[in-house]
Structure 1
Amino acid sequence: MKRNLCISTAVSVVLMAGGPVAVAAAATADTARTLVPAVAVQADVTAEGAAAAAVKHYPGVVESLDKDGDVWHVDVISKDGKGHAELEVSASGTVTEQNRDTDENAAENKALVAAKVTAEDAMKAALAAHPGQVWSVSWDDDEDGDAHTWDVEVRSPDGKTWNAQVDHATGKVTQSGSADGDGNDEDGDN
């Protein structure tokens, strides 16, 4: 009985110490090669992710967002309309504050802060109309201050750029058109 107990204990110790080593030794070179590139891949933050990261850093309403290389430039207006932050969001989602003002004219930002449709909502509406990736979104008032829309640029998988205007109250895509890769619309007049 003691002999069986000693043998069982010895086998258990060998398996516990040697098991992970045996498994690691059994891994093929192909497995090791496929794991290295997966670790090296860096996530690229989408427009939606950049907006969420910016608002988490500086609570408020996204006024504009655009991609420049691997960096998103995001302008956020505070919920009371008096504050403004210029932020950069890296491909990994890190937020860097470039500038912050606390003396904005709240009356100028009243329509943006009160808009039923946020920049995030406008991006969703534009993507529903034109699948792809949002490249920019910005709040737009006409000169008399009555009409407010979101201008959203979407790049489709085939490389075409779509410019959509999204109504600030309904979220409806009210106007859209395609542009070529140079930023000019199809008839070339930008």
Structure 2
Amino acid sequence: MNQAVFLDRDGVINEVLTERVKFVNKPQDFYLLEGAGEGIYLLQQAGYKIFVVTNQGGVGLGYMKEKMLHSVHDEMQKKLRSYNAHIDAIAYCPHKPHENCPCRKPKPQMIHDLAEAWDIDLTQSFMIGDREPDIVAGKQAGTKTILVGARDQDKVEADLVFEDLLEAATYITSQIEI
């Protein structure tokens, strides 16, 4: 079985709700967070499969079409290539926030589906997110959980907390026995 790191997208890999960009609804709104490319590269070099699991309610709400979402993800992969990094697979929930679909985080379906498709041992894997729904989804799926950033730190009980993805990746890769 493989080990994986499941990543939320907005706020973990790319900017969101910043002075430069509010929401990422088109490729030109996609800005990698500092250290994200390096962090993903470190995890890949350590043998982890890298997956994005992201709620994209803007599709269901009509702010963007799925085709544009795919263009945003293509831009993400393009920017990660400059760090020799890539995402192995992307799962997203396009439904409206209160539609109660089974794939929207905090429900763990996206993680379970990727784990089944890629033969992932969830007990040896991580979910990294910047908000409570990410951490709850990871816990329900059976992964270790890491909260990055300080936004929800007081109300989220993640296994570990780090400033950003690079710091989390550095910790994860330092725990591997060679």
Q: Which has the higher strand share?
A: 1
- Smaller-chain TM-score bracket: under 0.3
RCO comparison, higher one (Cα < 8 Å, 6+): 2
When normalised by structure 1's length, the TM-score is 0.24
TM-score, normalised to structure 2's length? Answer: 0.25
The structure number with the bigger radius of gyration is 1
